[in-house]
Amino acid sequence: MKFFQRLLSIVIILKAIGFIIPIEFSQIDFRASFKYWHNLFLVGLLFFWILFFIYGSKSGLRLWESLMVTVPLLVVFAVVSLFLFTGLCRWEEERELYAKENNNDKIVKRDLNCGATTDYDYETFYIKPLTPLFNFIWKIDTSSIQKDKWRKVSK
């Protein structure tokens, strides 16, 4: 039980760090597969941790009570897995808008593509390479940039 608690804590801390620090993987395919496996691991760990808690000797639940909790839990796990892990939504880079002179920095337009529910509400992001593996990324308003330091990228 302690092993699952520690493992779950590590995965949750990694998720929190990902929300706080604006870093992403440079390669789009690697970024998508990392998020897929990370989310699958997180939901799986939560599921098994709850099962260990329900069926553990300290829970105080009788067998029929444990089964009554397990069935809805399995349904919720299946639904969450279906939506999170079928790749329904992901950020897609629409096009590069600006590139910085003498640097690899760029400003791109992205949209959150969710299949049939996509509204093509584009966001503009500033991407600064940190290492060959990681990029800093944050939202930016293109009207606030110094146009003399950026060159416009044609379609």
Say yes or no to pLDDT of 85 above 80.
no
In this prediction, residues 42-59 reach a mean pLDDT of 76
Say yes or no to pLDDT of 86 above 70.
no
Helix axes 2-20, 28-55, angle to 10 degrees: 140
Between residues 109 and 88, the one the model is more confident about: 109
Cβ contacts of residue 14 below 8 Å, gap of 6+? Answer: 38
For residue 74, what are the CA distances in angstroms to 40, 52, 80? 15, 14, 10
Q: What is the band of 66 on the pLDDT scale with cuts at 50, 70, 90?
A: confident
Q: What is the pLDDT of residue 71?
A: 82
Mean pLDDT, the chain, integer: 80
Report yes or no: 12 and 39 within 8 Å, Cβ to Cβ. no
> Domain limits of the chain?
2-85, 90-152
Q: What is the pLDDT of residue 11?
A: 75
**Sequence letter at residue 29:** D
Say yes or no to pLDDT of 58 above 80.
no
| Phi–psi pair at 104, nearest 5 degrees | -95, 5
Q: What is the pLDDT of residue 62?
A: 77
Q: For residue 48, what are its two tokens?
A: 């098994």
Say yes or no to pLDDT of 126 above 80.
yes
pLDDT tens string 9-42: 887 787 788 778 888 888 878 887 787 787 778 7
In this prediction, residues 113-130 reach a mean pLDDT of 79
> Does the predicted TM-score (pTM) go above 0.85?
no
